[in-house]
Amino acid sequence: MVLGATRAEHQSDPRWRVLLDPAGHPFCITTVTPPAEVLESVYAG
């Protein structure tokens, strides 16, 4: 929001927030943390 994002009018899933960048492109953010085993597999690299 500080860098110009705005909240999209339609929010279809309570786990996510859909925001729009200054050009109008949507992107999503969440505070849901995946299970530890998922994080371990992603960063096991």
pLDDT confidence of residue 44: 75
pLDDT confidence of residue 41: 84
Higher pLDDT, 17 or 39: 17
Q: In sequence order, what DSSP letters do the residues of 1-37 get, joined into one string?
A: -TTS-EE-S----TT-EEEE-TTS-EEEE--PPPPHH
Confidence at 1, pLDDT banded by 50, 70, 90: low
Confidence at 39, pLDDT banded by 50, 70, 90: confident
Strand partners, 6: 20
Strand partners, 3: none
pLDDT confidence of residue 34: 84
Mean pLDDT of 3-32: 93
